[in-house]
Structure 1
Amino acid sequence: MIKIKTPATSANLGAGFDCMGLALDIYNEIWIKPSDRLIVETDDDLPKDHTNLVVSSMFKTYKYLGQEFSGAHIKQINNIPKTSGLGSSAACVVGGVTAANVLLGNLMSRQDVLDFCAMIDGHPDNVAPAILGGITASVINGQNKVHTFRCLPNGNIKIALAIANFKLPTTKSRNILPKKYSREDLTYSLSRAVSTFAALSLGQFEKLKYIMDDKIHTPYRRPLIANYDQIVKAFEDAGALGVYISGAGPAIAAFVDQNFRPFTPPKEWRLEIRNIVSQGVIVEMNS
C-alpha cells in the first residue's frame, strides 16, 4: 500500500496574489493500492465516486498519460480544514496526481507533476509549495510551464493561524474581486509582493509589517470575514511580524517569531502556531 502525505499551504502572503505560498505542518493522507474497481473511504463527508477531487485528479493524470483508469482502493484522512484558506483543494489535487503517477511507475518528473497540478488547480500559489515545500513564488509561461523560486527563511520564524469555524467558499471569495484595477493599485501591490519575497529570502523579517498589505484582493475579501479587523489588531498587538489573509480566507495568518504572545481569538475562531516545512508531498511505500 502507498501512503501519500500532502501539506497544507498558505497562499498569497499579502500581495503575492495567485503566485506566492508556503507549506505548513498539517497533512492530508492518502492510502492507496491498485484495484479493478473504485473504492473510496474517507473520514468525513467527501464524495466516494469520480467527483471526489483526489479521484478526478487521478483520472485526469491517467488520461493525460494515455492510460486507462480502472479503479483504486483509496483511504483519505483529511486534517486540513476544507474551504478555510489552507489549500485543502490543492492538497487533494497534488495527492491525486502524485498517487496516479506512482501507480503508473513515475512516468512524470516532479516538474511535470507541478505543471499538471497547476493546470488543474488554475494557479501555482498552493500547488507549488505543496509539491516543493518551503516558501515559493511562481510564474506560468505560455506553454503552461511553471517556473518557481523557492526559499527557506533563516531564523526561528513560524506561522500563526487564526482558523475560523465557519467556511468561506473560494468561488465567493474570488467572484467578489474586480475585473479591472488601476495602475496605482497594481504598482502598490507588485512592489509589496517582490519586497515580501525578498524580505523572507534575506531574513529581513522586521520589514514584513510594512510591506504585506495589498490592493488586489484584501480590501474586497476583508468584509467577507467576520472579526477580521479585531483579529488583525490582536495579531499586531501580540507582536506579529506581518499579517495577511491566507489564500481566499477566512483563515488569517501571520509571520511570528519567539517574541509573539499568543492571544485568545473571538468566538468561532481558534489560534494555532505552525512550522513552515521544507519538504512538500511525501510518498511512503508500505508493504
Structure 2
Amino acid sequence: MITIKVPCSSANIGPGFDVVGLSLSIWLTLQVNIVTTTTTTDTTPPPHTLNCNITYEGEGASHVPLAADANLITRTALYVLKCHGQRTFPRTTHVHIVNPIPLGRGLGSSGAAVVAGVLLANSVSKLGLSKDRMMDYCLMIERHPDNVMAAMMGGFVGSYLRELDPADMERKEIPLAEVLPEPAGGINTGLRPPEPPLGIGHYIKFGWAKEVKAVAIIPDFEVSTATAREVLPEVYSKKDMACLSPITGTSGIFNLQRLAVLTTALTRSPPDAELIFQAMQDKVHQPYRKHLIPGLPEILASVTPQSHPGLLGICLSGAGPTILALATHNFEHIAEMIMARFKQEGITCRYELLEPAYEGAQVIES
C-alpha cells in the first residue's frame, strides 16, 4: 500500500504573477494498492484499462473520468512510465483518489493532479527519481511552475524556468498533445513520448512568519485557467507595468517593486500589516480578470487592515475566483465580510482556514 499526498496551492500571491506559489493544507490523497500475486496468466486480458482500476471520492466525483487513459493523474503517470519503457501500470494497480481540492477555483487542483501523477509513476515502478527530476516531468505538462513547484516542494516558493541550451531549445515548445495525447485506444497512445530536458525549473523557498494563516473564500462557480489567461493582454503598456513616484518623478516597475518587498515582509514576526497590504497590490492580472469575478474590485479595495484588524493582505488566488486573505487573527469575520459581498452579487461561498504545507508532496509506504 502506497499513500501519496499532494497539497493544494495558491499562485501569484498579489504581485507574483507566474512567479510565486504557496502550498496550502488541503490535500489530494492517492491510496495505491498493487496486487503482486495473481492466478491469471500473462495471456489473460487485464481487468481494467492499462492494468489500472481507479475509484474516486470528493470534488468533481460526478464527472471526473475514471479510465486510466483519460484521468489526468493516471495519464500523467502513464507519460512518465512510457518515458521509462513501460506501457502500462503493474498488474493490477488500484488507485483510490480522495480529492477535497475544489476544481476550477484557483487552488491548483490540476497542478496537484499532475504532481500526484508523477509521484504515482515513480512509486509504482520504483523509478528512483528525485523531486527535482520529477519536476521536469511536471513542467512538460503544467508549463507554468508556480502551482506545481509549490505543490511538490511545499511552503512559499519562488520559481523560474531556465533558458535552455540550443539542443534543448529544439524541444522547448513541444506541443502538449505530444506529451499527453488524447486517449486513442490503449497502450499504443503516445508510443514515443518526449522526455523532458534536465533541470527545466528552479526554485527557492522563502520564509513564512508563524502567525500568518490563509483564509480562502471559495465561490460556488468555476473560472478555467484558459479563460482567465485569455483576458490578459498579449503586450503590456508602460502604464500597466510602471508606476510614477510622486516624490522623484521617476518610474518604477510596479509589481517587481512590491514582490521584492513581499517575499521578505512575510518572513518577519510580528508581521507589518500596512507593509504587506501595499506589497500585495497587483497591476498585471487582477485588473483584467475583474469582469470574470463579480464584486472583485470592491472586495480588493474595501477589505483592508484598517477596516478588518488582523488582515495582512488580500488577492485573487491563482486565476480565481477564490479570494485569498492573509491574516493573523479575526479570520471568521474577514471571511464573512467577503462572503457577504459576494452574496450581493448572488454568489454563495464557503471558506477554509489554511496553513502552509511546508513539506509539500509526500509518499508514505506501508
TM-score range, shorter chain: over 0.9
Q: Give 2:72's aligned residue.
A: 53
Q: Give 2:233's aligned residue.
A: 178
SS of 2:360's equivalent in the other structure is coil
Q: Give 2:87's aligned residue.
A: 68
**CA offsets per residue over residues 62-82 of structure 1, 9 Å max, x none?**
122333224632111110000
Supply the RMSD in Å over aligned alpha carbons. Answer: 1.9
Q: Which amino acid aligns with 1:69?
A: T
Q: Which has the higher contact order (CA 8 A, sep 6+)?
A: 1
Which one of the candidate residues 111, 127, 144 is aligned to 2:148? 127
Q: Give 1:238's aligned residue.
A: 308
The CA distance in 2 between the partners of 1:197 and 1:182, in whole Å, is 26
Contact 1:238 1:263 in 2 (8 A): no
**CA offsets per residue over residues 135-173 of structure 1, 9 Å max, x none?**
000011023521111023123100011111111111111
The CA distance in 2 between the partners of 1:23 and 1:127, in whole Å, is 9
Q: What TM-score do the two structures reach when normalised by structure 2?
A: 0.74
Q: Which amino acid aligns with 1:41?
A: T
Q: Which moved more, 1:99-108 or 1:243-252?
A: 99-108
Which one of the candidate residues 335, 342, 353 is aligned to 1:273? 353
Structure 2: unaligned runs, 5 residues or longer? 36-45, 165-198, 242-252
The CA distance in 2 between the partners of 1:26 and 1:234, in whole Å, is 28
Q: Which amino acid aligns with 1:169?
A: S
Contact 2:217 2:335 in 1 (8 A): no
Q: Give 1:38's aligned residue.
A: 52
> Aligned-pair distance for 1:93?
0.3
Q: Which amino acid aligns with 1:48?
A: L
Which one of the candidate residues 170, 188, 198 is aligned to 2:254? 188
Equivalences, count = 286
The CA distance in 1 between the partners of 2:358 and 2:259, in whole Å, is 21
**CA offsets per residue over residues 4-45 of structure 1, 9 Å max, x none?**
111010110011111211111111111123365121111202
Which one of the candidate residues 217, 223, 244 is aligned to 2:285? 217
Q: Give 2:212's aligned residue.
A: 157
Q: Which moved more, 1:12-21 or 1:149-158?
A: 149-158
> Aligned-pair distance for 1:271?
2.5
Contact 1:161 1:251 in 2 (8 A): yes
Q: What TM-score do the two structures reach when normalised by structure 1?
A: 0.93
SS of 2:128's equivalent in the other structure is coil
The CA distance in 2 between the partners of 1:90 and 1:116, in whole Å, is 12
Contact 1:124 1:139 in 2 (8 A): yes
Which one of the candidate residues 259, 264, 267 is aligned to 1:198? 264
Q: Which amino acid aligns with 1:26?
A: I
Q: Which amino acid aligns with 2:53?
A: I
Please identify the structure whose Cα radius of gyration is greater: 2
Q: Which amino acid aligns with 2:264?
A: A
Change (3 A) 1:259 1:30: same
SS of 2:334's equivalent in the other structure is coil
SS of 2:276's equivalent in the other structure is helix
Structure 1: unaligned runs, 5 residues or longer? none
The CA distance in 2 between the partners of 1:161 and 1:77, in whole Å, is 20
> Aligned-pair distance for 1:234?
5.6
SS of 1:113's equivalent in the other structure is helix
Q: Give 1:226's aligned residue.
A: 294
Contact 1:234 1:263 in 2 (8 A): no
Corresponding position: 1:140 with 2:211: no
Q: Which amino acid aligns with 1:250?
A: P
Q: Which amino acid aligns with 1:172?
A: T
Identity of aligned residues (%): 33
